[in-house]
Chain A
Amino acid sequence: MVDVSKGGAPGGPGVNLTKGQAISLEKKGGGTLTAVRMGLGWQAAPRRGLFGSRTREIDLDASAVLFADKQPVDVVFFRHLVSDDGSVRHTGDNLVGGAGQGGDDEAILVDLQRIPVHIDQIVFTVNSFTGQTFQEVQNAFCRIVDETNGQELARYTLDGGGQYTAQIMAKVHRVGSGWQMTALGNPANGRTFQDLMPSILPHL
């Protein structure tokens, strides 16, 4: 495990994760987390040259795949916004990204207490539905927020994006009676989460 280093401004919340780094989702000062939000935000990179103000729309989609013992059991994405058990909810598809506000453009809410007992891992992915690679995206990030108080627990920046259209962001998995998050940050290619399944399986 990599050292957890404080990121951002001094005293700023959260932790900037690096690939493969794991953090425990336990509250500072005891108590376990009850609800977390996986937020995704991005902006389309402006085009160079003439008509540079005309940015092209980029549609990134956040998805969460629920696994029980390495078998996919349920998926939450823009066509299935709530897991059958109601514990994981997607706030809805955003087709264009943020206009620079820096907030979450898509978010997936996870009610950790209500996740069915057999679900032991949840993998979060990001896909470019419109097919642009992450080179054309700027200010993209994925973060985990404690939904009960809005505090940012961890942030993963998607910059330095390469020639790929998807990323397996992170997984939240059971450890003992609590949950832990591991940043994965693995590039992949695909339009929706289905295309990513082969790339997800090695991370379980």
Chain B
Amino acid sequence: MTAELVRGQNHPLPHTRLEIRVTAGAPVMACATLADAQGTVGGTEWIVHPGSPSLPGIEVSRQAAAGLRFHVDLDALPPRVHLVHVLLALPEGVGGPDRFGATAAPFAAVTSTEGVEVASFTLTGLDSETAVIALELYRRQGAWKVRAVGQGYAGGLAELFGDQGLPQARAFAAGIQEAVARHLASAVQAPLPGATDGGRRRSEGLPLAPQPAPAPQSAPDTVPPAGPPSSGPPSSGGPQSGAGGAVNYTHPGRRTSTPPPPPPAAEPAQPGRPPRPVAGDATGWSMDERLYNQVWGMFEDLARTTAAYRSAMDFAESRLDQELDRVLSDPRQRIGGAGHAAREAARAKHDQLAGRAREVLDRDLAQLVAESEVVEPALPPAYARWDNPVWHGYRVPMEIPMALRLGDVHLPERPDLRIPMLVRLPLERGLWVDSGRSGSEAALMMDDAQLRGLAMDTAVAHAARLLAVYPPGEFTVHVIDPAGSGARSLAPLTASGVLDQPPATGAGGVATVLATLTQRVDLVQMAIRGGAAESLPPGLDTAEQLLIVNDFPHGFDDRAVTQLRYLADEGPAVGVHLLMVADREDASAYGPVLDPLWRTLLRVTPVPDDHLADPWVGHAWTYEPPTVPPGSRVLLQILEQVASARRSWRR
């Protein structure tokens, strides 16, 4: 639930990994100053700004834009830091407005990494100010909170930094302004003139069918022909402001004069019955976003409704136990019919409560099942099961979808009610398909080789889905298969020609692939840190990279293991992701050294396994991997389409 803050109000932060989104009526730049418990800023090295955009745990955009977003990881901040001020300032000398009063009130929001808004603040009442402290994140008794500040400075950043006790505030502020101006001058031409929303290209105003028809949601013909994909670094947030200093002043939220199509309205309910569910019945700017929010809403409702049922049942049980104990300990009731009657009464009370709890649960489950029945067929390919007919009408997309389905989750109360497990794209962490015997019943039924083969099949299906939902040329897959044991599973990838290189084998192959990717991460990081994205070598592949590793740690020497850990830690921020297919036991010789590696990866299984916890109540959910229907050629057909699109894109 979003808290709309007023000046001075604060709000607890439920996560430490957050995103801060800023929208303004004109391009603004964001900076952040870090301070210790006394509120002292330790010097200019405690400030992140467009000229020096990152410090551990926080990173701001290098450019000024009307829509900015950047990540904050409060756990990663130095322990001395107790206070983070988020500042906004108008860039000077680029032809924009010269005071905040001349433009629409800036809006700042703190969201989770999934984009769920935690708190927001509209900075109203600014006039001649050109710099403003928007938000304050602070530690109180070990927990982080956000406060809406809204303190403006007519003297700009120089006055603001001076107020924070920085000795050379004026020169420092001038340096920041210069960095922004320099960046604006060399800004990359935005490749897509279409609507942008927080840096994510998305087609708005699609002809959306309100009925739950299995129509493909990505309609490539409505999107203007795309040039080469953005050559900016993958982590650059916010829409690009036009080329050569020509600044686009339109508000990103008001880019289109027409509002987004309204969500499909549910039919009025018949009296005494819950309303019939409708697909896309959630908030969002596009059908994709609405369905994403709806699926997460169903996930939360199922978690909570089950929590209510379980707590009622637990209570009924414990009350029954207590009452039976009481009957037993009362000597008067041990003989005769009184004791019997008391026991019967206690059981009847239990059964009555349990019956009512089950009734409520069944009512809620029926509603969710009905919702699932209309939502599933309406899902776009990225969210759809492999047996969804939407895959038959598949066309290579022109834009990255919002999220990806990694599988299904369900609870034992209603195993056939499966909620799509959607994760946001680009991936925030790597994946680990566990080929070990983790204690799930399904895994115990199989022999080792079968389980490993299945794990590799699952990994290939995940990789194929990623390739299919990214625009051509924006996603590259590498494979390390040291002993060649995954060749059969990898056939759809190798046969369709979506891989640029054949799977790497042997210790030599492992070393080469890891060295290439490590160098890429290092280069992109350097370019981002130095603010020089244009200095990346021309041959560098700007696509997101996925590395499938089979049979880890077979074929890995110590150096390769270290490189893999580096990729796991540093890769996701610059678009390099791991997809490990491994049994943790195989790597037990490394001891606890590899524990952090496993922890950074999202563990999924090749067979149903109840290891996933929801973020609200923490039930153990059974995860089921997405399976391709037996005998279906859908995977290969789609990969062939992807491969041919990649070939024509490259020409």
> Which A residues are closer than 8 A to B by beta carbons?
68-69, 71, 73-74, 78-79, 81-82, 84-87, 89, 91-96, 99, 114-118
Contact = CB atoms under 8 A, between A and B. Distances in A.
B311 A84 contact: yes
B311 A96 contact: no
B301 A86 contact: yes
A85 B304 contact: yes
B319 A69 contact: yes
30 contacts: A68-B315, A73-B315, A78-B12, A81-B1, A81-B14, A84-B304, A84-B308, A85-B304, A86-B300, A86-B301, A86-B305, A87-B304, A91-B1, A91-B3, A92-B11, A93-B10, A93-B145, A94-B9, A95-B9, A96-B9, A114-B305, A114-B308, A115-B308, A116-B360, A117-B312, A117-B353, A117-B356, A118-B315, A118-B316, A118-B353
Interface of B: 1, 3, 8-12, 14, 119, 145, 300-301, 303-305, 307-309, 311-312, 315-316, 319, 353, 356-357, 360, 616-617
Contacts of A86: 300-301, 303-305, 307-308, 616
A91 B617 CA distance: 18
B544 to A, nearest CB: 35
A96 B145 CA distance: 14
Pick the most buried of B9, B303, B316: most chain A CB atoms within 10 A of its CB: B9
B11 A116 contact: no
B9 A116 contact: no
Contact of B311 (A78, A91, A92, A116): A116
Contacts of B8: 96, 99
A75 to B, nearest CB: 13
Contacts of B308: 84-87, 114-117
B122 to A, nearest CB: 16
A116 B9 CA distance: 33
Contacts of A81: 1, 12, 14
Contact of A82 (B119, B360, B616): B616
Nearest to A89: B1
B360 A95 contact: no
Contact of A118 (B3, B304, B357, B616): B357
B312 A92 contact: no
A82 B356 CA distance: 23
Given A69-B319, A117-B353, A85 B12 contact: no
Contacts of B304: 84-87, 114
A100 B412 CA distance: 51
A95 B10 contact: yes
Contacts of A82: 616
A116 B310 CA distance: 9
B307 A84 contact: yes
Given A69-B315, A114-B308, 12 more contacts: A74-B311, A82-B616, A84-B307, A85-B304, A86-B308, A86-B616, A92-B1, A93-B12, A94-B10, A96-B10, A114-B305, A116-B357
Pick the most buried of B14, B300, B315, B617: most chain A CB atoms within 10 A of its CB: B315
A86 to B, nearest CB: 3
A91 B356 CA distance: 29
A82 B12 CA distance: 13
B301 to A, nearest CB: 7
A8 B358 CA distance: 44
Contacts of A85: 304-305, 307-308, 311
Contacts of A84: 304, 307-308, 311, 616-617
Nearest to B318: A71
Given A85-B305, A86-B301, A92 B3 contact: yes
Nearest to A96: B8
Contacts of A93: 10-12, 145
Contacts of B12: 78-79, 81, 92-93
A84 B311 CA distance: 9
Nearest to A57: B8
A89 B3 CA distance: 12
Contacts of B309: 116
A10 B308 CA distance: 42
B5 to A, nearest CB: 9
Contacts of A68: 315
Contacts of A115: 308
Nearest to A90: B1
B619 to A, nearest CB: 10
Contacts of A73: 311, 315
B186 to A, nearest CB: 42
Contact of A117 (B301, B357, B616, B617): B357
Contacts of A91: 1, 3
Contacts of B357: 116-118
Pick the most buried of A81, A85, A87, A96: most chain B CB atoms within 10 A of its CB: A85
Pick the most buried of A82, A96, A117: most chain B CB atoms within 10 A of its CB: A117
A86 B298 CA distance: 13
A85 B617 CA distance: 8
A117 to B, nearest CB: 4
A173 to B, nearest CB: 16
A156 B301 CA distance: 33
Contacts of B14: 81
A57 B301 CA distance: 37
A142 to B, nearest CB: 19
Contacts of B303: 86
Contacts of B3: 91-92
A42 to B, nearest CB: 14
A29 B370 CA distance: 33
A118 B10 contact: no
A87 B617 CA distance: 13
Pick the most buried of B308, B356, B360: most chain A CB atoms within 10 A of its CB: B308
A118 B9 contact: no
Contacts of A89: 1
A117 B309 CA distance: 8
A69 B312 CA distance: 11
A192 to B, nearest CB: 12
Nearest to A109: B1
B299 to A, nearest CB: 12
A103 to B, nearest CB: 10
A3 to B, nearest CB: 35
Pick the most buried of A68, A89, A99: most chain B CB atoms within 10 A of its CB: A68
Contacts of B301: 86
Contacts of B300: 86
A91 B10 CA distance: 12
Contacts of B315: 68-69, 71, 73, 118
